[in-house]
């Protein structure tokens, strides 16, 4: 039997969505753990194919013990160079572990709904086809960690995807969201839709048929490469160096 992928979730009702569906369709077992409710994370990933840390309503800056423990635990996949993917909160935890700042938007804005995404040259080296819009649900962003490569950027929160070393990735957006998850999030989290910058609930569903096909195709392409394991760092050309340098100087938010 193939080695399982460790799935870290943060709420009782959370699911791994399309990421879980993708893995199970390929016969890969899911080892689902919820540290928030006392489940321990493994001391090594030697018996796992990789790990995915998903999102949640909490912040990477929260003082809860489980948040600190998860952030510290990220030393395991980084040291062992096992495939790691952090999604939203998971990406913010990875950024914080690597010493980058995680913080709300200075104007209190949130990305909730579909927003534009631009892949960098390094991003196209990792995955040739990126969606032009992605689904978001967050009000905190993060700086690009030192030594990391910017893979995709946005307008409101600049750092949208990054890679650190040969096997660790963080993405701010939510490619895993199914229609059922969107219904649940926009119902249970409806108060977030009133935040500055958030899109109206009706737009979430009206725009899903427009953008979701490209997101699903990207996720399949990305995860196929991700599961292949660690890859040597690609040597960036001038364009990639210029994009990365701009991102590090600008921090997590667009000018203005």
Q: What is the pLDDT of residues 50-61, one digit of tens each?
A: 999 999 999 999
> Residue 229: what pLDDT?
75
What tens digit of pLDDT does each residue of 86-109 get? 999 999 999 999 999 999 999 999
Q: What is the pLDDT of residue 228?
A: 87
Sequence-distant (6+) residues with CB within 8 A of 153 are: 117, 118, 120, 159, 160, 243, 247
**Do residues 134 and 160 lie in contact, with contact meaning Cβ atoms separated by under 8 Å?**
yes
133 is known as an active-site residue: no
Position 96 scores a pLDDT of: 98
Is the pLDDT at 253 greater than 50? The verdict is: no
> Which pLDDT tens digit goes with each residue over 15-40?
999 999 999 999 999 999 999 999 99
Q: How far apart are CA 149 and CA 137, in angstroms?
A: 23
Q: What is the pLDDT of residue 1?
A: 83
Q: Of the listed 10, 70, 88, 127, which one is catalytic?
A: 88
The rounded mean pLDDT for the chain is 90
| Length of the chain counted residue by residue | 256
Catalytic residue (choose from 10, 164, 174, 204): 174
**Residue 204 C-beta-side C-alpha neighbours within 13 Å:** 24
pLDDT tens per residue across span 186-214? 999 999 999 999 999 999 999 999 999 99
Cβ atoms 50, 222 nearer than 8 A: no
| pLDDT exceeds 90 at position 243 | no
Q: Which of 70, 140, 143, 176 does the annotation list as catalytic?
A: 176
Q: What is the pLDDT of residues 108-135, one digit of tens each?
A: 999 999 999 999 999 999 999 999 999 9
Q: How far apart are CA 41 and CA 207, in angstroms?
A: 37
Dihedral angle, C-alpha 27, 224, 15, 76, nearest 10 °? 100
- The predicted pLDDT at position 81 comes to 96
Q: Which of 121, 207, 106, 192 minimizes the C-alpha distance to 161?
A: 121
* Percent of the chain's residues with pLDDT above 90: 88
pLDDT at position 231, please?
54
Express the helix, strand and coil content of the chain in percent, nearest 5 each: 40, 20, 40
Residue 166 corresponds to which tokens in the numbers above?
């040969």
The set of residues, in sequence order, having a beta carbon less than 8 Å from that of 202 and lying 6+ positions away, is: none
Does the structure show a pLDDT above 70 at 140? yes
Does the annotation mark 88 as catalytic? yes
Would the pTM count as exceeding 0.85? yes
Phi and psi, residue 135, nearest 5° = -90, 130
Rounded CA separation 16/55 (Å): 10
- pLDDT per position as a tens digit, 232-242: 444 333 333 33
183 a catalytic residue: no
């Amino acid at each position: 039997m193939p080695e399982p992928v460790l799935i870290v979730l943060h709420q009782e009702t959370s699911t791994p969505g399309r990421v879980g569906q993708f893995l199970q369709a390929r016969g890969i077992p899911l080892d689902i753990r919820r540290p928030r409710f006392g489940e321990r994370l493994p001391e090594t990933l030697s018996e796992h194919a990789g790990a995915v840390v998903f999102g949640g309503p909490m912040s990477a800056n929260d003082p809860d013990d489980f948040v600190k423990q998860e952030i510290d635990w990220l030393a395991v996949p980084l040291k062992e160079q096992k495939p790691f993917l952090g999604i939203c909160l998971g990406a913010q935890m990875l950024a914080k572990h690597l010493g980058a700042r995680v913080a709300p938007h200075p104007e209190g804005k949130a990305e909730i709904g579909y927003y534009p995404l631009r892949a960098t040259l390094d991003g196209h080296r990792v995955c040739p086809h990126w969606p032009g819009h992605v689904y978001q649900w967050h009000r905190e962003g993060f700086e690009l960690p030192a030594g990391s490569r910017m893979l995709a950027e946005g307008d409101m929160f600049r750092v949208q995807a990054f890679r650190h070393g040969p096997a660790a990735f963080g993405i701010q957006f939510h490619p895993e969201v199914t229609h059922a998850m969107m219904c649940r999030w926009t119902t249970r989290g409806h108060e977030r839709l009133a935040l500055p910058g958030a899109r109206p609930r009706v737009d979430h569903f009206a725009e899903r048929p427009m953008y979701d096909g490209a997101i699903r195709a990207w996720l399949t392409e990305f995860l196929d490469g991700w599961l292949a394991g660690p890859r040597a760092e690609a040597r960036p050309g001038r364009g990639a160096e210029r994009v990365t340098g701009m991102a590090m100087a600008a921090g997590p938010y667009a000018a203005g």
